Amino acid sequence: MMARRTRLSSLPDRMPAVRGRLRADVDLAPLAWFRVGGPADILFQPADARDLADFLVAVPGDISVTVIGAGSNLLIRDGGIRGVVVQLGAGFSDIQIGGDGLIHAGAAVMDVKLASAARDAGLTGLEFLRGIPGAMGGAARMNAGAFGGELRDIFISAQGIDRLGQLREFSSEQAGFGYRKSAFPADVILTRISVRGQPGDRVAISARMAEIAAERSANQPVGARTGGSTFANPADPKAAGRKAWELIDAAGCRGLRIGDAMVSEKHCNFLINCGAATAADLERLGEQVRARVLEVTGVVLHWEIQRIGDEGGSI
């Protein structure tokens, strides 16, 4: 603890001047949907892309930089995150719609907001985003998908800023999308995503979005302290086409608990913080689910939720 305090006390003095918000020793739990996790040594919320670029150029190279988005698909461990945590906000929340169906969205734009903007412009193809929690930067990074659509279906290009402060642009081919993954370089912070919708009927688009919202509410623990789908659907032939939740259910894990960490009764590919769970509780529960599924079905489940930070204890 003393080593951490000594290191932390020196970090603010090593930070460059910014126009955004720069704070030391910030509790990250309120920024994540699970409401768990330790502090960030430094939390930087840049004013805009120029502020972010200037910061990345000037921050010492021995200080790690970690990006978090809306916190909807994220488990921040109890020990927190060393170095600088960057979270994009209002300066990355603009939406611009062109006459050719091209839509430019800041990386902090929530998926549902973009779906609604496309609907209002009479553009179809983005309805699936109504059912995906989170923001567009994370959606691009993991090729988010649900309800019959994936980001790569509508993706045109993306912009980002690398650790040297340089603007980088990526085509669809360079994005390298796969199932719940992409090939964007790890040191690039995505700042802007461009997608394309097709002309459609607003009434039909609204109806489809309402269907998605209703289905999500009926089948997922909406409103709970959760992190979205915990495990990716397996491609393993031993899974015989079954989705992750089906394998978890077959392994008898529905409702399984460790303390206040619980496998959702409503949708067993969701973990829930029922009140006082720690990140360690949730991760330990997830690992227990993986072990049971492997024992019963022979299938290895892979985490879809991003787990970051120091454990601060054993798993």
Q: What residues are annotated to the active site?
A: 180, 229, 304
Residues 6+ apart with CB under 8 A from 16: 54, 55, 58, 59
Residue-wise DSSP of 100-146: TSEEEEETTSBHHHHHHHHHHTTEES-GGGGG--SBHHHHHHTT-EE
Reduced to 3 DSSP states, what percent helix, strand and coil does the chain have, rounded to the nearest 5? 35, 25, 40
> Can you tell me the distance from the alpha carbon of 216 to that of 61, in angstroms, rounded to the nearest whole number?
43
* Distance separating alpha carbons of residues 299 and 130, to the nearest angstrom: 31
Asked whether the beta carbons of 175 and 152 are under 8 A apart, the reply is yes
Q: Is 42 helix (H, G, I), strand (E, B) or coil?
A: strand
Where residue 192 falls (left for φ over 0; alpha for ψ -120 to 50; beta otherwise) is beta
What's the distance, Cα to Cα, between the start and end of the chain in Å?
19
Q: DSSP readout, 53-88?
A: HHHHHHS-TTS-EEEE-SSTTEEE-TTBEEEEEEE-
Whole-angstrom distance, CA of residue 253 vs CA of residue 247: 9
Could you give the CA distance from residue 300 to residue 295 in angstroms, rounded to a whole number?
9
- Residue 143 CA to residue 272 CA, distance in Å, equals 23
CA distance linking residue 56 with residue 65, whole number of Å? 9
Q: How many CA atoms lie within 13 A of 147 on its CB side?
A: 20
User: Tokens 């972010």 identify what position?
Assistant: 52
